[in-house]
Amino acid sequence: MAFKLYTDAACTQVFSGVLSTVHYSDHSEGSLDYVFYFADVERDPADNGAYKLVMLGGGNVNLSIVDSTPGSGHEATEIKTALTAGGLDGAAAGAPLSLGVAPLSGVSNAIPIHVRVTNAVTSAGVSVELRLRKPEAVALAA
């Protein structure tokens, strides 16, 4: 699947998939906001929206939050995702984010994914167990 998350709007830097967050025991870091971009630039270098991403069996393409070590460190319920920065305030923590029925390929069709981590951990450290997971069961259609 060529649709990926990128860390820049030009879709040149692929996101590793791991949110690395620094947190303090007194929570003085506040909420940490990130922006990623979901796009397919490999199969659509001409940036003409030649491909769409669809779920096998239909339905919305969803981006999920995964905690690789539940019960330790951060939990998925500390993460909110939204399609706009303003949408983060009302987003449900831990809920998947719908990217629509058929996102189109190309940089110009990149979907901004806004992410907010609100720390609930009381020990200082760096957390790397949270991941953003893109859908696995998808197919490209012209």
Per-residue pLDDT of the chain (142 residues; tens, 9 = 90+): 588 899 999 999 998 877 777 767 776 777 889 999 999 999 999 999 999 998 888 889 998 888 777 766 667 788 899 999 999 999 999 899 999 999 999 999 999 999 998 877 666 555 556 667 777 656 676 5
Query: Residue with structure tokens 């305030």?
Result: 89
Q: How far apart are CA 17 and CA 9, in angstroms?
A: 16
- pLDDT given for residue 124 in this prediction: 55
- pLDDT given for residue 127 in this prediction: 59
Residue pair 46/13 in contact (Cβ under 8 Å)? The answer is no
Can you give the C-alpha Rg of the chain in angstroms?
16
The pairing of strands 111-117 and 18-23 is: unpaired
- pLDDT given for residue 126 in this prediction: 54
What DSSP line would sit under 57-113, residue for residue?
Answer: TSS--EEEEEESSTTSS--GGGEEEESSTGGGTTSPTT--EE--S-PBPSGGGPEEE
Q: How far apart are CA 39 and CA 23, in angstroms?
A: 30
Whole-prediction pTM: 0.84
- pLDDT given for residue 31 in this prediction: 84
- pLDDT given for residue 117 in this prediction: 84
